Structure 1
Amino acid sequence: MKFLPSQLLFFFQNKTTRKNLTLLAKFIAFILTIVFLYSLLFHKLMLYEGREYSWVTGLYWTLTVMSTLGFGDITFSTDLGLLFSIVVLSSGVILLLIMLPFTFIQFFYSPWLEAQSKSRTPRELPENTSGHIIITSLDPITEKLVAKLRKRDFQYVLVVAELQQAAELYDAGYRVVVGEPDDPETYHRLRVKKAALVVATSDDMINTSVAFTVRETSPNVSIVTSANHENSLDILQFPGNIHVFQFARMLGHALGNRTIGLGRPVNFVISSDKLHVAEIPAIQTRLCGKNLIDIGMREKTGVTVVGLWEKGMFHLPQPETVISATTMLLLAGTERQLGKFEDMYAIIEGMHAKDAPVLVLGGGRVGVAVVETLEEHGISYRVVEKRAVLTEDKGERYIQGDAADIKVLERAGVMEARTIIITTHNDAMNIYLAFYCRQLRPQVQIISRATNERSVAKLHMAGADLVLSYASMGANSIINVLKSDEISMFTEGLNIFRRPMPPSLVGKNLVASHIRQRTGCSVIAIKSPGDIIVGPDPLVPLKKNEELILIGTTEAEQAFLDLF
């Protein structure tokens, strides 16, 4: 009921609504006139038959007949009276049962529902709004971004042009404002001058329009846009103070960088200051069959095992954990410490046949970016692409055909490949290919992209060792514009993030804090002013001006945020 006054105000201020109500009133007046005439004729005909009734009785008879109730307590006895009853009944069916409901719905009920939607879907933000993020379109990247912003208590608003879509998103829990993304007035109403960021992730032309519209309204606010084509970069960067990301290319490079044996035994995944996080398959080390406590890796090298991947499942390390041949080790340390780990434990000779190629399934934008990374490191590759237009004049490294065809895969060298990277934009196809390739090559490394988060678990079940998504990578890149190095995605569902020291942990050490046991996150480093301690001593007290750098699944990260 608290929205009723605003709904009524909007309803009656609309010119179209007032016109519709006038038409509805005229139609109702026409029906009342017909009812009056029928009541008058009822009296005349009853007098003709020698009977007399009151005016109320005449109105009663007319309404019961026109509404088809026809109680039968008052009837005509002459043919003229019966013919009159038929006319009243027929016109009542048309006017009251057919025309009136449709006229009411068209001229009153539908506009009323529209007024309700418009009144509860705002068109501007409060004047005191500041530090918010304006999102100009909803897609997989911004859906993921909204979820991350909510977790971190960032204010955001989604601009939607169509009222119906805005109402649906509002009902789904999004913070929505109705407005055209290319209208300067929209951004005035969104308090863009006090916003922290504007995000545009549509196609290049729409993003360009949004960027110039925002810059017309506010010369200083930061803008993040996506770019699908190289020739759009200069245009998108022209307005100034703008961050342009080629998310598809970024994803391709990230997939390519996860190839086993890319330059050195350990694969550096994330590097920040002195902190490096790397991965290495246990089969490429001398650690298979040993448990962590017996290895004494930290004492010998300074490297900390921060996690273990086992067939797509992430596990926190325990002292008694036994390393198997299918385990992927996640290591944290300085570059010198990781180099020492390689010297002591890595098996370098015979890791791969010298000419063993990487098989890339999909030759679109992501696949091309994978190839760029492989060429940079001098690694042989084969690309399988179904569309002939993408394989023309590309040489023998590009094989035109369906990756689901065993003959095409064999021609591409699937049985000799060191790594298979699946890059198609169709998650169902990626799941199929991951399972198919796993059956053909049980020991090969399989890396896949995902579009939807719900596909990640399925891809791991199908046989993918690592899964990265366009949406998560894009959302994390945007988050890092808001707060540099705030979060990095190790792989889909596993993040490395930093948080200021919670007051409840100041003075305690890592052993007493029980962070791992209570949240599932593992502290991999502590950053203090001017320094970063990788693999911190668990017995040293934590200080107020320090930051924790942690690794954990999405659920573990949320548990840490909820608890601290």
Structure 2
Amino acid sequence: MLKSLGATLAQVSQRIGGTPDSMLADDERTRQVARRAERRRQLKTIVVLLVAFVVMVAVFSTVFHELMDREDRSFSWPTSVYWTLTTMTTLGFGDITFESDAGRVFSVIVLLSGSAFLLVMLPFVFIQFVFIPWMNDREARRAPRRVSEATAGHLILTALGPVEEDVIEHATRAEVPYVVIVDDVEAAGRLHDAGRRVMVGPLDDPTTYRHARVESAALVVATQNDQTNTNIAFTVREIAPDVGIVASANAPAAVDILEIAGVDRVVQLGEVLGEAMAKRALGLAGTTHVIGTFGGLCIAEAGVVGTELVGQTLGEMRLRERMNVGIIGVWERGEFTVAAADTELRSTSLLILAGNPDELAAFDDAYGLDTPAAPSALIIGGGRVGRAVAATLSAEGVASTIVEQLPERRREGMRYVIGDAADRAVLEEAGITDAGSILITTHDDNVNVYLTRYCRGLRPDARVVSRSRLDRNVSTLYRAGADAVLSYAATGSAAIWNHFRGDETLLVAHGLNVFRSPMPAELAGRTLAESHLHRRTGCNVVAVDRGDDVRANPDPYAPLPADAELLLVATDAGESSFSNVYPHARRRVTVGLRRQRP
């Protein structure tokens, strides 16, 4: 029943957009037809070689018989075939030899032609019908077909790209097991050799998920195309009704279909990234944006561009005394600095704050701007991310122009300039001279680095926000002149991971995490000032959680209660250092997300 409904919805979603399942099925059928045609060609070649071999033996045996008759020596036909085969294979025993020159010349001809023929035929037959099948079978057996029976609380990934690689890094750091399901045997073998935990199986086969122990899994992450994700969701729900499922969606209309299919959280990665880039372009203008929540404590970010905070130090702001808002640190062009009284704020600074909703609202009232910090914006790239940026800016009252090379990407209600963004005339037509912000949203990191450097040279005073597809190019884009860089991989993995482990770890930005830990026995009863926690681990305590009492910005001279939990902020390296210094403090979730039944 579920599978039938899933197939129906998948057919409907094919009309929405994306790659239809029928096209994927046609590709698979095409590959199968090609493999069968290749096998037929190989068999035809073998038959031709065998026929040629038989003809050669017959001709050589006949000539041998005639030449021996001329020497007045008589041999039977079986003996003629025997001599031909032993000579062709260079095994001649010397029991039958010619005495005439003609016979000896013929022997040389048989020897050379037979050796050359067998050197071609035997290796070909061996390689095509023995060695290659053996290697293929060995390759197929290299990647596992199922996970261990002891596996539980694990992540099941259905694709492996930059986003999934980031999720795997978080899972490895948190000691959460994972498995990547791959339907291609060769790809699975390569990933297995690279150290990834993979298993082979079709994504639409319930047996695959039984072998992946989906009923004991923490979360299933479906990041294929919309139609495949729908099929995955129905297949998983058929055998594991309560397991959590997170899926990506490309088309907006696919969100409803995926939710009907049983997906708990649908993530539109392009829209999430576009909205985040737009907020960076606006500079957040003294307004907080909540990233996540631990109990009653909200973790938020707030830009200072255009506000009176620019040029002040954190000590001069006195946020703790005035509003009880805690400053976790400052994010400055990809570098995080733990809050210090002498830290001076610049227009590019981004505050990371902690407080309850009322306290953050007080911050907004005090520093929020009535008008956007960027009155107009230039968007380079008219794909999903670029359109999401334009929609978010429009909602904030900011006019924007999209530069796009492909005319077919035009959408109603948005202003476009069609042309190459590397052409200065195109950029000037789009309004680069007056734009307060420039957002570079293409999916090619090389292009983004190139355009970031170019736009920074044309407009040194503009706010440049760039997209990075891969994490490794983030620092390069900052060096190229970007004020803010958002990684597609980091943003997507954060959306997935925060849904999975939002109560344990919150990914604030690329390489910056807020995480929860039980009170280490070594710190119980001691003060933060005595512990030198930041010096030893690189972590900063955000709050102390005693269940119903969450205290942000704890007093550094107050003893830490043994029954409390710490909320800490740190980079990836700092979080790992904390786990090494206090190995018994961190705990990991072994029971996954359970879906609430309606």
Into which bin does the TM-score normalised by the smaller protein fall? Answer: 0.7 to 0.9
Q: Deviations over 1:514-556 (max 9, x none)?
A: 3322333322223220122221222223334433323333333
Contact 2:309/2:345 (8 A) holds in 1: no
Q: Check the 8 A contact 1:476/1:487 in 2, yes or no.
A: no
Q: Output the CA distance in 2 between the equivalents of 1:348 and 1:275.
A: 21
Give secondary structure in 2 for the equivalent of 1:284: coil
**Cα offset, 1:476, TM superposition:** 2.0
- Separation of aligned partners in 1, 2:551 and 2:471: 33
Choose which of 354, 370, 378 in structure 2 pairs with 1:359. Answer: 378
Aligned counterpart, 1:94 = 117
Which among 537, 543, 568 is matched to residue 525 of structure 1? Answer: 543
What is the Cα deviation at residue 88 of structure 1? 2.3
State which of 106, 115, 131 in structure 1 corresponds to 2:153.
Answer: 131
**From 246, 250, 265, the counterpart of 2:286:** 265
The SS at the match of 2:253 is: helix
In 2 relative to 1, CA 219–301 (structure 1 residues): closer, same or farther, beyond 3 Å?
closer
Describe the shift of the 1:104–1:76 C-alpha distance in structure 2 as closer, same or farther (beyond 3 A): farther
Alignment correspondent of 2:13:
none
Report the counterpart of residue 177 of structure 1 in structure 2.
Answer: 199
**For residues 294-333 of structure 1, what are the structure 2 equivalents within 5 Å?**
298-299=320-321, 302-323=324-345, 327-333=349-355
Identify the residue that residue 370 of structure 1 maps to in structure 2.
Answer: 389
Counterpart secondary structure, 1:230: coil
| More moved, 438-447 vs 485-494 | 485-494
- Kindly state the Cα deviation for residue 226 of structure 1 after the two structures are TM-superposed: 0.9
Amino acid at match of 1:358: A
Please show how residues 303-452 of structure 1 align to structure 2 within 5 Å. Answer: 303-323=325-345, 327-334=349-356, 352=373, 356-391=375-410, 393-394=412-413, 397-452=415-470
Number of aligned residues: 519
How far did 1:146 drift? Answer: 1.4
| Match 1:208 to one of 226, 230, 238 | 230
Task: Kindly state the Cα deviation for residue 319 of structure 1 after the two structures are TM-superposed.
Answer: 4.9
Q: CA deviation at 1:171?
A: 0.6
Displacement after TM superposition at 1:287 (Å): 5.6
**What residue identity is the alignment partner of 1:394?**
G
Find the partner of 1:159 among 165, 174, 181: 181
The 5 Å alignment of 1:186-205 reads: 186-205=208-227
Please, which of 252, 255, 278 is the counterpart of residue 256 of structure 1?
278
Question: 1:369/1:501 Cα in 2 relative to 1: closer, same or farther (>3 Å)?
Answer: farther
Give yes or no for contact 1:283–1:326 (8 Å, CA) kept in 2: no
For the 8 Å contact 1:305–1:317, the answer to whether it is kept is yes
CA shift in 2, pair 1:337/1:234, >3 Å: closer
Deviation at 1:271, TM superposition (A): 4.6
Matches of 1:221 and 1:482, distance apart in 2: 12
Alignment match, 2:575 = 557
Name the counterpart of 1:496: 514
Structure 1 residue 162, shift from structure 2 partner = 1.4
- Residues 298-345 of structure 1, C-alpha deviation per residue, up to 9 Å, x if partnerless? 45554444333444333334455455565444444445555666788x
Paired position in structure 1 for 2:487: 469
2:360 and 2:339 mapped to 1: Cα distance? Answer: 18
Instruction: Please identify, of 181-190 and 240-249, the stretch whose mean Cα deviation from structure 2 is larger.
Output: 240-249
- Residue type of the partner of 2:234? F
Name the structure 2 match of 1:104.
Answer: 126
User: Per-residue deviation at 1:170?
Assistant: 0.4
* TM-score (normalised: structure 1): 0.79
Q: 1:280 aligns to what?
A: 303
| Structure 2 stretches lacking a partner, 5+ long | 1-38, 74-81, 583-598
Deviation at 1:209, TM superposition (A): 1.2
The more displaced of 465-474 and 290-299 is: 290-299
- Going from structure 1 to structure 2, the CA distance change for 1:110 and 1:504 (only over 3 Å counts) comes to farther
Aligned counterparts of 1:492 and 1:339: Cα–Cα separation in 2: 26
Distance 1:242 1:329, change over 3 A: closer
User: What's the secondary structure of 1:523's corresponding residue?
Assistant: strand
Quick check: 1:282–1:323 contact (8 Å CA) kept in 2?
Answer: no
Do the aligned partners of residues 544 and 418 (structure 1) sit closer, same or farther apart at CA in structure 2, a change above 3 Å counting?
Answer: farther
**Pair 329,127 (structure 1): closer, same or farther in 2 beyond 3 Å:** closer
- For 1:76 and 1:328, how far apart are their aligned partners in 2? 100
Structure 1 residues 267 and 429 mapped into 2: Cα distance closer, same or farther (>3 Å)? farther
CA distance in structure 1 between the aligned counterparts of 2:386 and 2:404, rounded to whole angstroms? 9
Distance 1:295 1:239 in 2: 50
Question: Aligned in 2, Cα 1:517/1:492: closer, same or farther, shift over 3 Å?
Answer: same
Alignment partner, residue 83 of structure 1? 106
Q: Which residue of 1 aligns with 2:22?
A: none
Classify 1:86/1:544 alpha carbon distance in 2 versus 1 (closer, same or farther; 3 Å): farther
> Do the aligned residues in 2 keep the contact of 1:529 with 1:545 (CA within 8 Å)?
no
Secondary structure, counterpart of 1:505 in structure 2: coil
Once residues 562 and 49 of structure 1 are traced to their aligned partners in structure 2, the CA distance between those partners, rounded to angstroms, is 95
Q: 1:456 aligns with which of 460, 466, 474?
A: 474
2-structure distance, mates of 1:377, 1:452: 29
CA 1:425–1:76: 2 relative to 1, 3 Å = farther
Cα contact 1:524–1:551 (8 A) shared by 2:
yes
Q: Calculate the TM-score normalised by the size of structure 2.
A: 0.75
Amino acid at match of 2:200: V
Q: Give the conservation status (yes or no) of the 8 Å contact 2:246–2:263.
A: no
User: Any idea what the Cα deviations from partners look like across 1:421-458, whole Å, max 9, x if unmatched?
Assistant: 22222222221222122112223222222111111111
**Equivalent AA in structure 1 for residue 205 of structure 2:** D
Following the alignment from structure 1 to structure 2, what is the Cα–Cα distance between the partners of residues 420 and 200?
33
* Larger RCO, structure (CA 8 Å, separation 6 or more): 2
Residue 545 to residue 212, structure 1, CA distance change in 2 (3 Å): same
- Cα distance in 1 for partners of 2:121, 2:546 equals 76
Structure-2 separation of matches of 1:350 and 1:246: 28
Deviations 1:203-244 (A, max 9, x none): 011111111112222222222111111221222111335322
Letter in 1 for 2:148: P
Aligned counterpart for 2:190 among listed residues 146, 160, 168: 168
* Pair 1:443–1:89, CA change in 2 (3 A): same
Q: Give the conservation status (yes or no) of the 8 Å contact 1:253–1:369.
A: yes
Specify the code of the residue in structure 1 equivalent to 2:394.
E
Deviations 1:340-387 (A, max 9, x none): 66788x59699858xx21222222211222223223322333332232
State which drifts further: 207-216 or 436-445. 436-445
Distance in 1 separating the partners of 2:273 and 2:99? 84
Check the 8 A contact 1:222/1:241 in 2, yes or no.
yes
Distance in 2 separating the partners of 1:372 and 1:392: 11
Cα 1:332–1:392 change in 2 (3 A) is closer
Inter-partner Cα distance in structure 1 for 2:369 and 2:341? 26
Contact preservation (8 Å) 2:372, 2:396 = no
